[in-house]
Amino acid sequence: MEMIADYLTWASESCLTVDPGQVQRLIDLLFEARANGRRVFIIGNGGSAATASHFCEDLGKCTLTSLDDPLRFKVISLTDNLPYVTAWANDNGYETVFEQQLRNLAEPGDLVIGISASGNSPNVLRAIAYANEHGLTTIGLTGFDGGRLREMAHHPVHVPIHDYGMAESVHMIIFHLIINRATEIIRAPHAERASGASHP
């Protein structure tokens, strides 16, 4: 029991190491992309690949007010097409799997969110370098000391925790926080209009 309580305390304290300003900047960038019809690409490996898929699903679906919403987050997780990823990895090297997809899909002004607890995943760094060189905006979610990703990304969101599991857990909490805030922002005008209609 004591070990469980200690772990939960550590998790709570780890969340408090995050800079709220960095998270707010990511929220602002996401809404700018949404307003301007820009794509949002998310990349990561292992547990961070699962986080990329999860955030993609939540951002694309859970922020809608109806199935007819014309304004949406154009979000794509580049971890999810397994035949595509393995083809690039097998034929050209695993470090190419995200960069090459960006070459097919990305345009200047799009966002790339790279997730890497170490900050040193070669395929993430290669994709971020390509994005920086071709007019995309880059965000890096990192742990430990941030590695090269923290330095390369235009906008780092850093979790200064020296543990893979906890850094990945806090990344997921950050994304859930963003979804909660995004839904509040998107639904507020609808609530105001409904209130105005009921009380002219």
Q: How confident is the model at residue 196 (pLDDT cuts 50, 70, 90)?
A: low
Q: Is the pLDDT of residue 191 over 70?
A: no
pLDDT tens digits along 107-155: 999 999 999 999 999 999 999 999 999 999 999 999 999 999 999 999 9
In a domain, 197, yes or no: no
Q: Count of domains in the chain?
A: 1
- 96 belongs to a structural domain: yes
Which residues are within 8 A (CB) of 156 and not within 5 positions of it... i.e. 6 or more apart?
22, 139, 140, 141, 142, 146, 149, 150
Q: What is the pTM of this model?
A: 0.93
In a domain, 86, yes or no: yes
Give first-to-last CA distance, the chain, whole Å: 56
- Convert the pLDDT of each residue in 80-103 to its tens digit: 999 999 999 999 999 999 999 999
Domain holding 94, by residue range, is: 21-182
Which CATH number fits the domain that encloses residue 49? 3.40.50.10490
Contact criterion met (CB below 8 Å) for 58 and 113: no
**Of 129, 151, 130, 132, whose CA–CA distance to 142 is shortest?**
151
| Residue 4 forms part of a structural domain | no
